[in-house]
């Protein structure tokens, strides 16, 4: 990647290679939710997916709501004041730091993503409270050592104190099960005792025939997608203390009272949970 750094140390947006040779999950997500930071391949993949699974928009809205509830829960209920959010996605307010800093303005957040378009918009992620701090790191979740040792992280978070690690709708981009479990375990192993790990894991348990076609669409547009069963989703939390109600469909995890009973299980293709590291 080339280009002149801006005053904040981020590469100038115009110099960023946007990687437009294939569709990208974050940009498909942005398109489905009505954003404008997406391209022809992303829109084609999104439309093709909607054709076979019209509930995609409901699912993605539920995923974003889950992220907000996770952030609020960790800040309000567990008193966590520093967070590592891997798989940030394209900035859409309210972002993770806005949710936690609304609870505790002193909260610190490090965002991690490897999508060039997220990097191009990363400045929007750095506008937090004056009391807290936010930072952005361009890195791949498959390289946890690089993440945990990055200056952006070390300068922002205190690795001697508990933090909240979030991998929301990310592990399905690692299709090899052994690699996915290894990556998550390595990251969790690096966390201090008393930290929390939250994840949302893609599943086809509730509508396998339709979601098999969704997987085909993603693959045909060059994007990864791996469905996992409940047992496979729970394996990501092995060795940790799950918070109630355990690993459940994301719309059922500490649900928004307004949404209770309004979402069909078949419309949601994601399990989620939070666990504490002893």
How far apart are the C-alpha atoms of 7 and 4, rounded to whole Å?
A: 10
Asked whether residue 8 is domain-assigned, the answer is no
10 Å CB burial of residue 21 (0-12, 13-18, 19+) is exposed
CA angle 242, 202, 261 (to 5 degrees): 75
Position 262 scores a pLDDT of 85
The number of folded domains in the chain is 1
Instruction: Tell me whether residue 162 is in a domain.
Output: yes
The C-alpha atoms of residue 26 and residue 202 are separated, in whole angstroms, by: 15
- The pTM assigned to this predicted structure is 0.87
Classify strands 241-242 and 270-276 as parallel, antiparallel or unpaired: antiparallel
Question: Within 13 Å and on the Cβ side, how many CA atoms surround 166?
Answer: 32
Residue 200: closest CA among 86, 109, 276: 86
pLDDT in tens, the chain (278 residues): 233 344 344 444 334 444 556 777 778 778 877 777 778 888 888 888 889 999 988 998 999 999 999 999 999 999 999 999 999 888 778 999 999 999 999 999 999 998 877 877 777 777 888 999 999 999 999 999 999 999 999 999 999 999 999 999 999 999 999 999 999 999 999 999 999 999 999 999 999 999 999 999 889 988 899 999 999 999 999 999 999 999 999 999 999 887 777 899 999 999 999 999 99
Cross-strand partners of 110 = 84, 135
The pLDDT score that the predictor gives to residue 16 is: 44
Query: Would you say residue 177 lies in a domain?
Result: yes
> In this structure, is residue 12 part of a structural domain?
no
CATH number for the domain spanning 74: value is 3.40.50.150
**Residue 10 domain flag:** no
Task: Note whether residue 227 is domain-resident.
Answer: yes
- The answer as to whether 179 is a domain residue is yes
Determine the pLDDT at residue 31.
82
Residue 255 located in a structural domain: yes
Cα angle 101, 142, 161 (rounded to 5 degrees) comes to 40
What pLDDT sits at residue 4?
A: 32
State the DSSP string of 111-173: EEE--HHHHHTGGGGG---SSSEEEEEE--TT-HHHHHH-HHHHTT--TTS--EEEEET-GGG
Domain residue limits at 200: 19-276
């Amino acid at each position: 990647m080339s280009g002149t750094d801006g005053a904040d140390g981020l590469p100038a947006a115009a110099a960023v290679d946007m990687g437009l040779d294939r569709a990208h999950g974050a940009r498909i997500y942005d398109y489905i939710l009505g954003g404008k930071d997406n391209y022809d391949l992303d829109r084609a993949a999104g439309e093709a997916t909607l054709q076979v699974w019209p509930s995609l928009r409901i699912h993605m809205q539920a995923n974003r709501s889950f992220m907000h509830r996770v952030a609020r829960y960790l800040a309000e209920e567990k008193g966590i004041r520093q967070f590592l959010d891997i798989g940030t996605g394209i900035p859409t307010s309210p972002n993770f730091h806005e949710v936690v800093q609304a609870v505790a303005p002193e909260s610190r957040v490090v965002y991690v993503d490897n999508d060039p378009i997220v990097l191009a918009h990363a400045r929007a992620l750095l506008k937090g409270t004056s009391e807290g701090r936010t930072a952005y790191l361009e890195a791949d979740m498959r390289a946890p050592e690089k993440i945990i040792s990055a200056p952006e992280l070390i300068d922002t978070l205190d690795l001697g104190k508990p933090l909240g690690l979030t991998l929301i709708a990310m592990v399905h981009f690692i299709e090899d099960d052994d690699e996915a479990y290894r990556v998550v375990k390595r990251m969790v192993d690096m966390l201090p005792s008393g930290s929390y790990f939250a994840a949302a894991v893609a599943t086809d348990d509730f509508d396998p025939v339709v979601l098999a076609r969704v997987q085909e669409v993603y693959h045909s547009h060059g994007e990864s997608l791996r469905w996992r069963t409940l047992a496979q989703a729970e394996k990501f939390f092995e060795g940790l203390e799950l918070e109630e109600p355990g690993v459940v469909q994301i719309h059922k995890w500490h649900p928004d009272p307004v949404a209770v009973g309004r979402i069909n299980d078949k419309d949601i293709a994601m399990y989620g949970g939070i666990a504490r590291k002893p």
